[in-house]
Structure 1
Amino acid sequence: MQFLVYILVYPFIWMISILPFRLLYAFSDLIYLFVYRIFGYRKKTVLENLRLVFPEKSEEEIHLITKKFYHHLCDMIVEAIKSLTITEKQMKTRFTFSNVELLQNLEKNKKSVALMCAHYGSWEWIFILQSYIGTKGYAVYKKIENKYFDRLVKRIRAKYNSYLITTKETVPVLLRSKVEGNVTLCGFVSDQTAKPHTALHWGKFMNIQVPMHTGAETLAKRLDMAVVFFRVKRLKRGYYETTFETITERPKDYKNYEITDLYFKLVEKQIKEAPQYYLWTHKRWKHRDKFPEDFIKKS
């Protein structure tokens, strides 16, 4: 059944991917009509999230951000599909880096990097970064249930010397690389909701206490990796600029979860500057009325 779905869907995806950008974004506008106007995909969740984190904004402002968000969401969908056939030259033109020398200098100093980001702007085209550095790149991801699409996504990422690894694979892969003396770069999208029963740290995200993922910080301390945040700015439709910011090159000097809190502060700053480019469809604050003590008592 998985293969049948793959062979039926793949030709459609491929045809979309070869569209020139002008038609690609026209198709995105069409998707927007269905996703936002007709079906209202997770609109209730989006509005709830925005009202929660921006209590000072009026309903008119909330709805305007919502519309802009759905336009951007549909653009990200078609841009992800475009990754299948986009050329390296096209991607380098559309996804640029303001200070890639920061990572290049860390590479020269034989320093591995835990690269942290959020579900903001565009994270689909960040893999072109590997064409600017020699460090082998990994990205932690959730495996796709359909194994054929999972292989496809891995193949697309591997074009630029980037490799997807699951959470369970992360420690052994990076530990082996360190033992072998290899310099690596591993990307973490760490702003999603952590399971409250297993979360080691609860902190403030947009001034609301939530359980937080701490894997990137823990791994950086264990393997002595520099921790770098990358900020994505949307310049115009289909064009992005990324800026890197070092959180620390000495993670062991920080108290437990201090790096995680610093990361979330950077994410917050980015969201407040242009909230329409954050991924609001997920229930990231669903545990906001709960506290660590509640789970400790029940366990």
Structure 2
Amino acid sequence: MKRWERLIFRLFTVIARCPFGLLYRLSDLLAFILNYIVRYRKAIIRGNMRKSLPKFSEEKIRCVQRLFYRNLSDYIFETLSCLRLNFETLQKRVEYEGIEFFEKYHSEKKNVFLLIGHLFNWEWLISLGPKLPQKQTYAIYKPINTSLINQLMNTIRGRFGTINLPLAQSVRSLMQLPNDGEHVFLVLGDQSPQKRKIRYSLPFLNQETGVYNGFDKIARKKNMRILYGNILRKKRGHYIIRFVPIEAQGKKFRENEIAEKFFALLEVNILEQPDNWLWSHRRWKHQKGIDF
């Protein structure tokens, strides 16, 4: 990292030591700045919501947007808190339902794909690994150009033993590792793919959406087990993560069936708490019939 990045990283570690009461006061301040002063990606957020939530009135969309800024700010400070949070504290703030599915797949000697969306706070899934019977948990991620953020994510996700696996290396690693029930792969499956990599599209939140389907191909080829991580905000700073099995309609998954079922579950999850999804990313920047 560059010198200025090291200085900022040290500042992050100082912020991480603050009690949650102070962190959430800082979060309130940041949310106000993002919403009313910087107006962070407001046009993108409002446009995404209008297209995805056509039954919502303008007043309700403004309400969801206001709550979204608060949740986004909470996500930032909660993520920074992971630099110092111990496992016991996280256990009090994240409630898991469906851990028995991991135990079942471990006994069947099948590796697991855990598919999640950008629902706050997905980073607190770092507390999952020590609770599982599997030996190793991997987080598949796409590195970004800022070494500061990469270092932050590597530090946070590795605190309880999760290995960060860059997207470019993930296919080879997945194909080489034995399907022996000892490995869990966490995948944020709702990212916007590069235009040249779109191989499949489906209806999602009232729009035709280009999606990554690499996890679908690998899971079918390796005969892995699939879980969806349904994330709900119980109250501020407390979450329920429910694991839902994704199973084939017939004896085997047909092509793209996993992707279709994942996005169907994700849509239900988002509509249950629409302010808790990352509306600020340009999820529909590539349009069917124009870009793919």
Whether these two folds match at TM > 0.5 is yes
Three-state SS of the structure 2 residue aligned to 1:33 is helix
Return the letter of the residue paired with 1:83. C
Residues in 2 aligned to 1:76 and 1:222: alpha-carbon distance in whole angstroms? 35
Identical positions, percent:
27
- Contact between 1:251 and 1:259, CA under 8 Å: does it hold in 2? no
Return the letter of the residue paired with 1:154. N
Tell me the CA shift for residue 75 of structure 1: 0.1
Give the corresponding residue for 2:244. Answer: 245
Q: Compared with structure 1, are the counterparts of its residues 270 and 182 closer, same or farther at alpha carbon in structure 2 (3 Å cutoff)?
A: closer
- Contact between 2:102 and 2:133, CA under 8 Å: does it hold in 1? no
Q: Compared with structure 1, are the counterparts of its residues 46 and 146 closer, same or farther at alpha carbon in structure 2 (3 Å cutoff)?
A: closer
Q: Compared with structure 1, are the counterparts of its residues 145 and 122 closer, same or farther at alpha carbon in structure 2 (3 Å cutoff)?
A: same
Give the corresponding residue for 2:74. Answer: 75
Return the letter of the residue paired with 2:6. I
Tell me the CA shift for residue 198 of structure 1: 2.5
- Contact between 1:83 and 1:156, CA under 8 Å: does it hold in 2? yes
Tell me the CA shift for residue 271 of structure 1: 1.1
Three-state SS of the structure 2 residue aligned to 1:31 is helix
Tell me the CA shift for residue 258 of structure 1: 1.5
Cα deviation code 1:85-109 (max 9, x no counterpart) = 0111111110120221111221122
Residues in 1 aligned to 2:110 and 2:223: alpha-carbon distance in whole angstroms? 8
Q: Compared with structure 1, are the counterparts of its residues 196 and 92 closer, same or farther at alpha carbon in structure 2 (3 Å cutoff)?
A: same
Tell me the CA shift for residue 203 of structure 1: 0.8
Q: Compared with structure 1, are the counterparts of its residues 88 and 213 closer, same or farther at alpha carbon in structure 2 (3 Å cutoff)?
A: same
Give the corresponding residue for 1:61. Answer: 60
Cα deviation code 1:88-135 (max 9, x no counterpart) = 111111012022111122112211001101011310110111011132
Tell me the CA shift for residue 156 of structure 1: 2.5
- Contact between 1:25 and 1:75, CA under 8 Å: does it hold in 2? yes
Return the letter of the residue paired with 1:153. M
Give the corresponding residue for 1:206. Answer: 205
Residues in 1 aligned to 2:267 and 2:249: alpha-carbon distance in whole angstroms? 23
Cα deviation code 1:43-92 (max 9, x no counterpart) = 11100001111122111011000000000000000001001001111111
Instruction: Give the alignment of 1:37-48 within 5 angstroms.
Output: 37-48=36-47
TM-score using structure 2 length = 0.94
Give the corresponding residue for 1:193. Answer: 192
Q: Compared with structure 1, are the counterparts of its residues 108 and 251 closer, same or farther at alpha carbon in structure 2 (3 Å cutoff)?
A: farther
User: 231-240 or 161-170: which moved more?
Assistant: 161-170
Give the corresponding residue for 1:14. Answer: 13
- Contact between 2:79 and 2:123, CA under 8 Å: does it hold in 1? yes
Tell me the CA shift for residue 251 of structure 1: 9.5
User: 258-267 or 138-147: which moved more?
Assistant: 138-147
Q: Where do 5+ consecutive residues of structure 1 fail to align?
A: none
- Contact between 1:29 and 1:74, CA under 8 Å: does it hold in 2? yes
- Contact between 2:123 and 2:157, CA under 8 Å: does it hold in 1? no
Q: Where do 5+ consecutive residues of structure 2 fail to align?
A: none
Q: Compared with structure 1, are the counterparts of its residues 182 and 230 closer, same or farther at alpha carbon in structure 2 (3 Å cutoff)?
A: closer
Cα deviation code 1:23-57 (max 9, x no counterpart) = 11011011112111110100111000011111221
- Contact between 1:94 and 1:239, CA under 8 Å: does it hold in 2? yes
Give the corresponding residue for 2:126. Answer: 127
Tell me the CA shift for residue 186 of structure 1: 0.4
